[in-house]
Homo-oligomer: A and B are copies of this chain.
């Protein structure tokens, strides 16, 4: 069901987070320790905001497993960004194709999801129907996560990401009830607009995939005086991950169930997350 990472802070070489980190995302594509599946080899996606262009995210998506993608290696080693999301996929149900790789994108917004909508096969038609007519043509693939993103856009994600997400999840849970599907929602979600990152940890059964956010950089440096790379991170940097990066042990704060985070450079807020009625 995937894993994802997000970074926000001073422009950082993407490589620093993806490859050079022990048990980083590329390593997790091969040997995830905490995920539902250990291998996440059904594709990779990277969305990054160029420095000084927070309204224009770039994206690279590939069906090649992250660990053997030569282009990805090259890109990560040469691109710096102040905000990026990376996602590795373990496909359940929908085909492995570029259009089913995360992040999904709409204007300045990027979206990743680690999890699934159970019974999506049965609900797909109704859920796609619930997507606003003007947005519908943006749906390029067949993944449940993409439809979830479009439901959130329909519910006003661009004005109120977390509120819209709560309403979208509510829509899914109501639809599931109609179709006799239990506990449809599963997962963690990442959303970015070029200036902020939001993360959600929620599932209908309240047994969600793991999610962690880094402590403030100052704290992390005090915990790990032996790690020179931590000097590279800016004071206001924050990293959100599906599972902790190995060489920064103790520097992670687990995000509780049914919780959402709003992260800016230098700021971190937490609030409850619960499905809500449609707008």
Contact = CB atoms under 8 A, between A and B. Distances in A.
Interface of A: 30-31, 38-39, 41-42, 50, 53, 56, 58-65, 67-68, 70-71, 74-75, 77-79, 91, 95-99, 121-122, 124-125, 128-129, 131, 133, 136-137, 139-142
Contacts of A63: 64
A140 to B, nearest CB: 6
A216 B63 CA distance: 41
Contact of A96 (B38, B64, B137): B64
Nearest to A128: B128
Given A31-B39, A56-B78, A125-B137, 10 more contacts: A41-B67, A50-B78, A58-B78, A71-B98, A95-B98, A97-B99, A125-B128, A125-B131, A128-B128, A140-B142
A41 B238 CA distance: 32
A-B CB proximity, top 5 nearest: A58-B78, A125-B136, A68-B96, A97-B97, A41-B41
Interface of A is mostly: mixed
Contacts of A39: 30-31, 39, 41
Given A56-B78, A58-B75, A139 B142 contact: yes
Contact of A98 (B41, B65, B70, B131): B70
A104 to B, nearest CB: 13
Nearest to A42: B68
Contact of A74 (B30, B60, B136): B60
Contacts of A70: 61, 95, 98
A139 B31 CA distance: 30
A196 B99 CA distance: 34
A129 B125 CA distance: 7
Contacts of A91: 68
Nearest to A71: B60
Nearest to A65: B41
A133 B142 contact: no
24 contacts: A31-B38, A38-B38, A41-B41, A41-B65, A41-B67, A42-B65, A58-B78, A60-B71, A65-B65, A68-B91, A75-B75, A95-B99, A95-B140, A97-B99, A99-B142, A121-B137, A124-B136, A125-B131, A125-B133, A125-B136, A125-B137, A128-B128, A139-B142, A140-B142
A133 B63 CA distance: 30
Nearest to A59: B74
Nearest to A43: B68
Contacts of A68: 41-42, 91, 96
